[in-house]
């Protein structure tokens, strides 16, 4: 069925909007993740219109039918999710390892409710995520992010077919981000592990004392002190995570 009644420009705007839609739908550390739904839809359509009318984006009108349009929209949506996966990998790595340190430090019963997802999030993981978002703006990674979105329309025009091995870059990127996040929290984890070994030794030598209950404030204090001491050293690890993110974008887009 030919789409004679539907303007080609409308299809191009929808396709461009579908590519940027995952940026707004994702609950990751993207700056737009906490906008209201109406604002997300409006901003996505506006970006799609701006991209279509200010670049040479075009589709093959002779082959536009219902099935081809649906395929193009689905392909653009998947391309957008692969593009945003870099942010999701960073947040997942930070939140997971933040939860690990949180259990060690004694904040396992504490948590922060995310009103967007209605889920409990890690206190330390949320703090590290907020720091990473601040550093994202401090190192001008937001400018690179905007340039990458704009460049994607030139490198991968509308209707662009993903590389057959594009999915092969997802797991290595996620593994690299988890490795860098592990280096981020490793000093805190090792310090708390050493304290746990000392506490375990004391509990064997003084079984009449509830040493675990007594040592809980000490674990919290030590964890916060080590976290504060290592905070300046975390900047390089955050920069490496953003460099890995930029490299991932370049590889996926070719």
Of residues 67 and 140, more confidence is placed in 67
User: Alpha-carbon distance 15 to 35, whole Å?
Assistant: 21
Kindly state whether residue 208 falls inside one of the protein's structural domains: yes
- Whether 1 is in a domain gets the answer no
Q: What is the mean pLDDT of the chain?
A: 75
Confidence of residue 223 (pLDDT cuts 50, 70, 90): confident
Q: How far apart are CA 128 and CA 126, in angstroms?
A: 5
Range with lowest mean pLDDT among 69-73, 102-106, 167-171: 167-171
Q: Where are the alpha helices (DSSP H) in the chain?
A: 8-25, 37-54, 66-105, 123-138, 141-155, 170-205, 211-230, 234-253
Using a cut of 0.85, tell me whether the model's pTM lies above it.
Answer: no
Q: How confident is the model at residue 13 (pLDDT cuts 50, 70, 90)?
A: confident
Asked if the structure places residue 2 within a domain, the reply is no
Taking each helix axis from N to C end, the angle separating 234-253 and 123-138, rounded to the nearest 10 degrees, works out to 70
Pair 148, 117: CB distance under 8 Å: no
Tokens of 62: 């002779």
Cα–Cα distance for residue pair 200/205, rounded to 1 Å:
9
- Residue 132 — pLDDT band, cuts 50, 70, 90? confident
d(CA 192, CA 195): 5
| pLDDT, tens digit (0-9, with 9 covering 90-100), for 149-189 | 777 777 777 766 665 566 667 777 778 878 888 888 888 88
**Residue reference for tokens 């409006």:** 42
**Cα–Cα distance for residue pair 210/168, rounded to 1 Å:** 51
Q: Judge whether residue 235 has pLDDT over 70.
A: yes
The reported pLDDT for the residue numbered 34 is 67
Q: Which domain holds residue 14?
A: 8-253
Question: Percentage of the chain with pLDDT > 70?
Answer: 76
Residue 139 inside a domain? The answer is: yes
Mean pLDDT of all residues in 42-47? 82
pLDDT at residue 106 is higher than 60: yes
* Per-residue model confidence (pLDDT) at position 116: 60
For residue 16, pLDDT beyond 70: yes
3 within a domain of the structure (yes/no):
no
153, part of any domain: yes
Residue at 130 is within a domain: yes
Question: 60-64, 124-128, 235-239, 241-245: which range is least confident on average?
Answer: 60-64
72 is written with which tokens?
Answer: 């193009």
* Residue indicated by tokens 């030919």: 2
What pLDDT is attached to residue 119? Answer: 66
Q: Which two tokens stand for residue 173?
A: 């990127």
What's the domain count of the chain? Answer: 1
φ, ψ of residue 119 in degrees (nearest 5)? -125, 155
């Amino acid at each position: 069925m030919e789409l004679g009644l539907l303007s080609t420009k409308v299809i191009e705007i929808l396709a461009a909007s579908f590519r940027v839609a995952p940026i707004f739908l994702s609950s990751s550390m993207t700056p737009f993740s906490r906008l209201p739904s109406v604002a997300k839809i409006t901003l996505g359509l506006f970006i799609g219109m701006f991209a279509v009318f200010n670049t040479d984006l075009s589709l093959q009108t002779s082959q536009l039918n219902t099935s081809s349009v649906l395929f193009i929209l689905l392909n653009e949506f998947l391309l957008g999710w692969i593009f945003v996966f870099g942010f999701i990998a960073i947040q997942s790595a930070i939140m997971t390892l933040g939860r690990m340190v949180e259990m060690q430090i004694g904040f396992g019963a504490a948590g922060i409710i995310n009103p967007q997802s209605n889920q409990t999030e890690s206190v330390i993981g949320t703090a590290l995520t907020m720091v990473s978002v601040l550093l994202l703006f401090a190192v001008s990674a937001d400018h690179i992010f905007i340039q990458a979105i704009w460049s994607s329309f030139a490198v991968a025009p509308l209707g662009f077919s993903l590389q057959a091995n594009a999915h092969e870059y997802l797991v290595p990127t996620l593994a690299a981000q988890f490795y860098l996040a592990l280096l981020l929290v490793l000093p805190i984890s090792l310090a708390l592990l050493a304290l746990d070994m000392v506490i375990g030794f004391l509990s064997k030598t003084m079984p009449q004392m509830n040493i675990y209950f007594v040592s809980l404030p000490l674990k919290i204090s030590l964890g916060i002190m080590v976290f504060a001491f290592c905070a300046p050293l975390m900047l390089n690890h955050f920069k490496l995570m953003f460099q890995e993110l930029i490299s991932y974008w370049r590889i996926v887009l070719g």
